[in-house]
Amino acid sequence: MEKVTISDKFKFIKTHKFGHSMEKMCMLLKVSRSGYYDWVDRPPSNREKKDQKILKIIKKTHIKHPVWGVDPIWAEVKETIHCSRGTVYRLMKENGIKSKRRAKWKATTNSKHNLPVAPNLLEQNFNTELPNTVWVGDITYNWTDEGWLYTAIVKDLCTKDVVGYAMGDRIVKDLVIRAMAMAVRNEKPKKDLIFHSDRGSQYCSNDFKDLLKTSNIRQSMSRKGNPYDNACAENFFSCLKCECTNFYIFETRDEAKQAIFEYIEVYYNRQRRHASLGWITPLAYKKLFAHDIVA
């Protein structure tokens, strides 16, 4: 249990002084009225001044990124003011600042088919030290008043960057082909890149396999009935739904497309801080490799 200080009691009294008896509050909290008035008249300490500066950054960051929790907000604060995680946690708790998230939906693809599948080349080893070494992909869906909108993505396991994506009203092979074509066009990967996905029929199609072959990409697939083998790709969709699409009721597919586009291009790749990257963004992490200064 956290220790309640005299200052904490005085802050409580100051917050609730309107509509409550000052004498009764002091009596219940076992502090003197004269002590409270001395505290009110006292100029703020250096710690209090620092707390106010930190709180200002916390509030500004929370308004801009309401889905952020303690750690990414702490990372944001540290770029301006050196402080501990505990300080940020305390100030957020005292001021009722919490991350705003919605429950996720489950992503799915059709793996009930007779098409040949690729072996699992990862075996749940998701640690990748270089960009464009391992990509992962998956498909998800979002409801609109016009019907379902399906989204396929290709994500770099090293940088967490979504390097390719495509959206459409049907969950067909063209969806994953367009997402992969975008990734290849954007990144121009070298030989021996691995692409990992589940066993969905879209990824097992001959047209998709031909695209991988012509791009010198080796194909890897999850083991049958093992949802953890493609957890890294599904994690992106969890973030997409908890932090973006589940907050909306889309009237049209175009509205959903615009929201998802902005989430990927504006927020996820460029602004969202990732724990696995040391609480920096995919864009900032990619720049480390571009300048050859990776530790």
pLDDT at 295: 43
Q: How far apart are the first and last CA of the chain?
A: 39
Strands (E), the chain: 134-144, 147-156, 162-168, 193-197, 217-221
Give the integer Cα–Cα distance in Å for 230 and 226: 8
Mean pLDDT of the region 256-278: 94
The share of the chain scoring above pLDDT 90, in percent, equals: 44
- Indicate the pLDDT class of residue 180, thresholds 50, 70 and 90: very high
Quick one: which of 128, 159, 133, 161 has its CA closest to 288?
159
Q: Of the spans 87-101, 117-131, 280-294, which averages the highest pLDDT?
A: 87-101
pLDDT, greater one: 98 or 126:
98
Q: Is the pLDDT assigned to residue 162 strictly greater than 80?
A: yes
- Indicate the pLDDT class of residue 49, thresholds 50, 70 and 90: confident
DSSP summary character for residue 150: E
- Indicate the pLDDT class of residue 294, thresholds 50, 70 and 90: very low
pLDDT at 48: 82
Q: Is the pLDDT assigned to residue 6 strictly greater than 50?
A: yes
pLDDT at 66: 85
Q: Is the pLDDT assigned to residue 149 strictly greater than 50?
A: yes
Q: Is the pLDDT assigned to residue 151 strictly greater than 60?
A: yes
